[in-house]
Copies of this chain bind each other. A is one copy, B any other.
Amino acid sequence: MGFSIHQMAIDAKKASLQVAKLSSKTKNRVLCTIAENLIAHTPKILEANHLDLEAAKHDDLPEAMIDRLLLTSERIYDISQAVKHIASLPDPVGLITKNNRLDNGLQVSKRRIPLGVIAMIYESRPNVTIDAAALCFKAGNAVVLRGGKEAIHSNKALAESIRQALVQFDIDEAAVSLVPDPDREIMNDLLTLSDDIDLLIPRGGENLIKHVTQHSRIPVIQHYKGVCHLYVDKMADQKKALDILQNGKVQRPGICNALETLLVDQEIADEFLPTVSSLLDSHNVKIHACERALPHFAHADLATDLDYDAEYLSLEIAVKVVDNYQSAVNHIQRFSSGHTDVIVSQDISTANQFIQDINSAVVMVNASSRFSDGGELRLGAEIGISTSKLHAYGPMGLESLTTEQFVVIGDGQIRH
């Protein structure tokens, strides 16, 4: 009688066949209706959000989490605008990516099709409910949303804006389903439903992602950590290096594309590190320096491997002097999380070598790691950043929510 996550997945699978065949025009009209509903329902959404905030305060949740939970009229407006933006993006479904005519007359093409059913498992940010639903729907998929228990009232109110739009366009409501009960057992059951769910995307802290990865029978796209490196080569333009360091560490340290480690070639360390010291001091950045870098800083402690492995997500940085280019590459190959790594160098051979040597999702030359983002790289919008190499690597846009099928057209050909 009670809620069945298995039935929800079966219904989503059925709905996915309908969503896969919707025209771009219909999908975009549904998305614009969702955007309008969000604005119209703002008072109700804020009321629901208020319940979540009260509960969070009652449970003494940390300030940062309460801020992530908080919705305001402005934030709802922004969410609604993001949905309109997704409506304006090109539809990946049906795109022919390859097309050949073989000797035997067969016409072989590859064609983008939706993945089917995508499950999102996320934590306290309620905006993910709308963002993820809009992106999955635009790419022709059904989606099962499982948000955190802290945001359950907000999520339900937001999902209602989607449900009403689906009903208005005669689309199976199961195309976007919110798991109504944030019980952990139900989530664990969800992880086993590989017959009906094609992809699982967890968004949240490392523990959530580890749990999902270890227990899932469904393919998972992982985003673990962003331990991003900046290597300042001996041939670097030091002014550019300093700008890129400041932008990467100071602008938004809490984001995964922020810098966590600075590597400096020993040939320029004596000249460059004093300027690094005054820059980081002026922004109150805590410094963990290697033995050779330590003397250049007034306030710093000695870095350990734990520092090189850390995703600080705050005004903290590890600084290391390296013997040469190869030492920098070795350090990055050992400690990088595969997210984004940057070289600053005016030497074109060194820059090209860096691109060959570093197999992270994003490798950058003379540019800020902060550009490592679906929006900045012009993917249109971002459903997540993959740090595992399968299916998608790096910032994931709409295309990553599709796959490619072979289409073979003949005129009676058989194989000999």
Interface residues of A (CB under 8 A from B): 17, 20-21, 100, 102, 106, 108, 111, 113-116, 198-199, 213-214, 217, 219, 237, 239-240, 243-244, 246-247, 251, 333, 351, 355-357, 359-368, 370-372, 376-378, 388-391, 393-395, 403-415
Q: Which residues of B contact A351 (CB under 8 A)?
A: 409
Chain B residue at minimum C-beta to C-beta distance from A376:
B415
A415→B247 contact, CB < 8 A: yes
Chain B residue at minimum C-beta to C-beta distance from A20:
B359
A404–B377 CA distance with the chains assembled, in angstroms = 14
| Sampled A-B contacts (19; CB under 8 Å) | A21-B356, A100-B378, A108-B377, A198-B389, A219-B390, A237-B412, A240-B411, A251-B414, A365-B407, A365-B409, A366-B409, A366-B411, A368-B415, A371-B408, A371-B413, A372-B408, A390-B403, A393-B403, A393-B404
A391→B393 contact, CB < 8 A: no
Chain B residue at minimum C-beta to C-beta distance from A245:
B414
Where chain A touches its partner, the secondary structure class is mixed
Contact of A410 among B21, B366, B389, B406 (CB under 8 A): B366
The smallest C-beta distance from A284 to any residue of chain B, in angstroms, reads: 20
Chain B residue at minimum C-beta to C-beta distance from A358:
B405
Q: Which residues of B contact A393 (CB under 8 A)?
A: 403-405
Q: Which residues of B contact A371 (CB under 8 A)?
A: 106, 408, 410, 413, 415
Given the known A-B contacts A415-B368, A415-B370, are A362 and B409 also in contact in the complex, defined by CB atoms under 8 Å?
no
Q: Which residues of B contact A100 (CB under 8 A)?
A: 378
Q: Which residues of B contact A403 (CB under 8 A)?
A: 389-390, 393
Chain B residue at minimum C-beta to C-beta distance from A241:
B412
A243-B414, A355-B407, A391-B391 known; 10 new pairs, CB 8 Å cut-off, are A111-B355, A115-B389, A115-B390, A361-B405, A365-B408, A367-B410, A371-B415, A389-B403, A390-B391, A394-B406
Q: Which residues of B contact A405 (CB under 8 A)?
A: 359-363, 393-394
A366→B415 contact, CB < 8 A: no
A389–B197 CA distance with the chains assembled, in angstroms = 11
A394–B108 CA distance with the chains assembled, in angstroms = 13
B115→A406 contact, CB < 8 A: no
Q: Which residues of B contact A376 (CB under 8 A)?
A: 415
Q: Which residues of B contact A372 (CB under 8 A)?
A: 406, 408
Chain A to chain B: the 8 pairs with minimum beta-carbon distance, closest first: A367-B410, A240-B412, A247-B414, A370-B415, A391-B391, A389-B403, A219-B390, A362-B406
Chain B residue at minimum C-beta to C-beta distance from A351:
B409
Q: Which residues of B contact A408 (CB under 8 A)?
A: 362-365, 367, 371-372, 377
A361→B406 contact, CB < 8 A: yes
- The interface centre, meaning the residue of A17, A357, A403 with most chain B CB atoms within 10 A of its CB, is A403
Given the known A-B contacts A217-B214, A389-B116, are A370 and B414 also in contact in the complex, defined by CB atoms under 8 Å?
yes
A2–B362 CA distance with the chains assembled, in angstroms = 39
A360–B366 CA distance with the chains assembled, in angstroms = 44
The smallest C-beta distance from A233 to any residue of chain B, in angstroms, reads: 14
The smallest C-beta distance from A394 to any residue of chain B, in angstroms, reads: 5
Q: Which residues of B contact A111 (CB under 8 A)?
A: 355
B251→A21 contact, CB < 8 A: no
Q: Which residues of B contact A116 (CB under 8 A)?
A: 359, 389
Q: Which residues of B contact A244 (CB under 8 A)?
A: 412, 414
Q: Which residues of B contact A20 (CB under 8 A)?
A: 359
Chain B residue at minimum C-beta to C-beta distance from A219:
B390
Q: Which residues of B contact A239 (CB under 8 A)?
A: 412
Chain B residue at minimum C-beta to C-beta distance from A355:
B407
Q: Which residues of B contact A333 (CB under 8 A)?
A: 17
Q: Which residues of B contact A219 (CB under 8 A)?
A: 219, 388, 390
Chain B residue at minimum C-beta to C-beta distance from A362:
B406
